[in-house]
Amino acid sequence: MRGRSLTLSRVKLELARRSMSATSVPSMADFLTKKPYSPPSWASHLRPLPSHTFSLAHRDDFTGMELSGNKVRKLEFLMAEAVDQHADTVITIGGIQSNHCRATATASNYLNLNSHLILRTSKLLADEDPGLVGNLLVERLVGANVHLISKEEYSSIGSEALTNALKEKLEKEGKKPYVIPVGGSNSLGTWGYIEAAREIEEQLNSRPDDLKFDDIVVACGSGGTIAGISLGSWLGALKAKVHAFSVCDDPDYFYDFVQGLLDGLHAGVNSRDIVNIHNAKGKGYAMNTSEELEFVKKVASSTGVILDPVYSGKAAYGLINEITKDPKRWEGRKILFIHTGGLLGLYDKVDQMASLMGNWSRMDVSESVPRKDGVGKMLGTITINKWCVHTLFVCYRFSSSVQHCQLKSSNTASLPKQQNSDEQLICFQICLCCVNQTQDAIQVCAQIRCLLSQHSFPDLTN
């Protein structure tokens, strides 16, 4: 890592998280607004031109956890077409931790469309509940219909045939489905990053220092992002060399796939002339070496920039390796690295990264530090502490009113000793929630006392 850091210091590396100027970003007042689309002048010859776009507020500090990343740019065009076609359902497909599927499910929910996600997983897990880790939690929270398929079936049948089969099934049920391919990567979705190239131009033009980039670096997982940014850079004023780091298939596959997207836009350009694709898949898609995960950890701890392990993490790791192997080639060049989001994928790597997280310890408080009962953030004041103890006992005795809670706590020492430990755990967690704000605690506890005033219970306030 020391060698990589020294090499990096000789290169001007611009990490862009796609923060945009106020003039080039749709405001929150435009969120979910359908608008006619006007392409950049240098892309007006491409065909077919999109007629409309839906503003999904793809600025990183607007989109939040559920609708973030490069997929949102593609969805602005794809969801507009779905609505134009009067679809009531959206179908898409991807890996079990697909960022695209999560963003599609959320966007569909915003637009009152049902979503069906075909998610690829291992053969052993295809018949089990997929759980609630990472992107799956958001997808299932927003009500997406999840269909699991084994990797073997996915490989032998293909993504297009799988989505078409589900489309036919839903049509027989009276639905009007709209199919979005893997990663939203078709010719229409490509416009998302053609538009991104225009935004980068606008940002650079607004700067007083005449900054220009020599290279643009981005991860490549399905091909639409690199097709759009490469074509936009080629046709527009950027003229930066685009380097794509493939995280799944080999470079030759993506050269051919991107060529198909370009031909679908009648761009009249060869993919190999506008993008340089590097192999960064390592052990395979969504699989990481310990070195890659250690790199993600060190970047986060030293810069505050959090890379996802599936896309941007592998791309940045690949870039630093390239710089280390051939520093002369990169020396002095200004590099724009596009962070494409996908941070929820980190939650799927918890077990693998646990050994890297050693910076914790039990706080050692000297006996000389004064103690006083009932003081501290969790208890607020002695008064609130009494209320909470009282509330604990009430909730415990009349647990039927909270029987649907599934909350747990590791500290139950102050609870009455009874046989039903689940009731004790539930009540203690409720008290912790109550004391976050003093006024809320008083109000909640008073409500419980009122509701249960007809019952008799010990007075614990003294």
Q: Who contacts 246 (Cβ-Cβ below 8 Å, separation ≥6)? A: 220, 221, 254, 277, 278, 279, 280, 281
CATH code: domain 70-184 is 3.40.50.1100
- The string of pLDDT tens digits covering residues 407-421 is 333 333 333 344 444
**Neighbour tally for 123: CB within 10 Å:** 11
Beta strand 34-36 with 52-54 is antiparallel
| One-letter identity of residue 430 | I
Contact 336, 14 (CB under 8 A): yes
Strand-pair partners of 118: 93, 147
Contact 388, 406 (CB under 8 A): no
Kindly give the parts of the chain with pLDDT less than 70. 1-32, 57-65, 374-462
Rounded to 10°, the helix 382-397/421-434 angle is: 150
CA separation for the pair 345, 98 (Å, rounded): 8
Q: Who contacts 134 (Cβ-Cβ below 8 Å, separation ≥6)? A: 97, 344, 345, 346, 347, 348
Q: Who contacts 377 (Cβ-Cβ below 8 Å, separation ≥6)? A: none
Residue 358 pLDDT:
82
Element (H, E) at 389: helix 382-397
CA separation for the pair 214, 156 (Å, rounded): 41
Q: Which structure tokens are listed for 14?
A: 């611009």
Residue 96 pLDDT:
96
Residue 364 pLDDT:
92
Compute the chain's Rg from CA coordinates.
Answer: 27
CA separation for the pair 8, 13 (Å, rounded): 7
Active-site residue, selected from the candidate residues 55, 68, 98, 233: 98
Phi then psi for 258, rounded to 5 degrees? -65, -35
Rounded to 10°, the helix 71-84/99-110 angle is: 40
DSSP of 265-320: TT----HHHHEEEEE--TTSTT---HHHHHHHHHHHHHHSPPPPTTTHHHHHHHHH
Residue 359 pLDDT:
81
Residue carrying the six token digits 């409720």: 430
Active site residue 98: yes
- The string of pLDDT tens digits covering residues 308-361 is 999 999 999 999 999 999 999 999 999 999 998 888 889 999 999 999 998 888
CA separation for the pair 191, 197 (Å, rounded): 10
Q: Which structure tokens are listed for 428?
A: 């203690």
Q: Who contacts 182 (Cβ-Cβ below 8 Å, separation ≥6)? A: 92, 93, 94, 100, 159, 222
Architecture in CATH of 187-351: 3-Layer(aba) Sandwich (3.40)
Residue 343 pLDDT:
86
Q: Measuring CA to CA, how many Å separate 146 from each of 106, 128, 163, 184, 430?
A: 13, 12, 13, 18, 32
Against a cut of 0.85, is the pTM above it?
no
Q: Which structure tokens are listed for 1?
A: 């890592």
187-351 has the same fold as 70-184:
yes
Contact 293, 217 (CB under 8 A): no
Q: Measuring CA to CA, which residue among 182, 187, 198, 195 is closest to residue 266?
A: 187
Element (H, E) at 187: helix 187-205
Phi then psi for 282, rounded to 5 degrees? 60, -125
Where in the chain are the domains? 70-184, 187-351
What's the chain's length in residues? 462
Residue carrying the six token digits 């793809």: 58
Residue 384 pLDDT:
36
Residue carrying the six token digits 């097709």: 227
CA separation for the pair 206, 211 (Å, rounded): 10
**Neighbour tally for 128: CB within 10 Å:** 10
**Cis, peptide link before residue 48, omega less than 30° from 0:** yes
Residue 374 pLDDT:
58
Burial of residue 452 (number of CB atoms within 10 Å: 0-12, 13-18, 19+): middle
Alpha helices in 49-186 (DSSP H): 60-63, 71-84, 99-110, 135-141, 151-157, 159-172
Phi then psi for 176, rounded to 5 degrees? -120, 80
